[in-house]
Amino acid sequence: MNIILLGPPGAGKGTQAQRLVDKHGMRQLSTGDMLRAAVKAQTPVGLEAKAVMDRGELVSDEIVSALIGDELDAMGDQVGAIFDGYPRTAAQAASLDDILAARGRTLDRVIELEVDEDALVERITGRFTCANCGKGYHETFDPPKVAGTCDKCGGHEFKRRPDDNEETVRTRMAEYRAKTAPILPLYDARGIVSRIDGMADMDHVAAAIESALAG
């Protein structure tokens, strides 16, 4: 199965993708994670992307589509893909169709996480991850079971994303409204969109996604 998780910043794409990975052995393809890895490694892509990401704007379609194609080639044909944060523009949606067709894959479902924008700033500014294993947390909604210790690996160091400040989040939301939301009608026309209440708690969102994928 190949699916897209679509929704504004903080909607819960990464949180839900991780659950699908754990439960079904699917593979999470997050262009945001790939770009952050490139920034950290100071590759040419990373050097070009850093300032754009820090402003909350979108990196070029060519760069992200190339990253997705490379990741798909690196994983086995039998593993299902969860596209997290990709596609984000009409051009990326067209590229994804070509990328999948060239690899004999089809797009089975688009999950739109519907959220109330006012709640997103709180979600994003409270977010942090384990510096060692990358597990995600939230200060209020999903803190580690033992404060200061990662549930998954026992690590004690945590980090925050440089673009997780209120000003950048507002730009990221505006980019979503202007460039990403308009691609939904394309998938609606194919009858493959499931709309899910992303304001419910994480377990309920996960259960709703499971039933959308089963149905």
Task: Verify binding: residue 67, ligand AP5, rule CB under 6 A.
Answer: no
For position 83 contacting ligand AP5 by CB under 6 A, the verdict is: no
Contact indicator for 180, 86 with CB cutoff of 8 Å: no
User: Does residue number 14 form part of the binding site for Mg ion (CB under 5 A)?
Assistant: yes
Give least dist CB 79 to ligand AP5, A. Answer: 20
Distances (CA, A) of 13 to 43, 45, 48, 54, 72: 26, 23, 25, 20, 19
**14 lies in the site for ligand AP5, by CB under 6 A:** yes
Q: Is 195 a catalytic residue?
A: no
Closest approach of ligand AP5 to the CB of residue 130, in Å: 12
DSSP letter at 59 equals P
**E strands in 8-74:** 27-30
Q: Which of 109, 127, 152, 195 is catalytic?
A: 127
In the bound complex, what is the minimum distance in angstroms from residue 172's beta carbon to ligand AP5?
5
Q: Please return the burial class of 201, using the count of CB atoms within 10 Å of its CB with bins 0-12, 13-18 and 19+.
A: exposed
Point out the catalytic residue in the list 13, 36, 50, 123.
Answer: 13
Helix (H, G, I), strand (E, B) or coil at 113: strand
The rounded distance, in Å, linking the Cα atoms of 209 and 20 is 9
Residue 209 touches ligand AP5, criterion: CB under 6 A? no
50 makes contact with ligand AP5 (CB under 6 A):
no
Q: Residue 80 or 126: which CB sits closer to ligand AP5?
A: 126
- 19 flagged as catalytic: no
**47 vs 32, 66, 160, CA distance in Å?**
14, 16, 20
What 3-state DSSP class applies to 206?
A: helix
- Which chain residues interact with ligand AP5 by CB under 6 A? 7, 9-15, 31-32, 35, 52-53, 56-59, 64, 85-86, 88, 92, 123-124, 126-127, 136, 138, 141-142, 163, 172, 201-202, 205
Which sequence positions are flagged as catalytic? Answer: 13, 88, 127, 161, 172
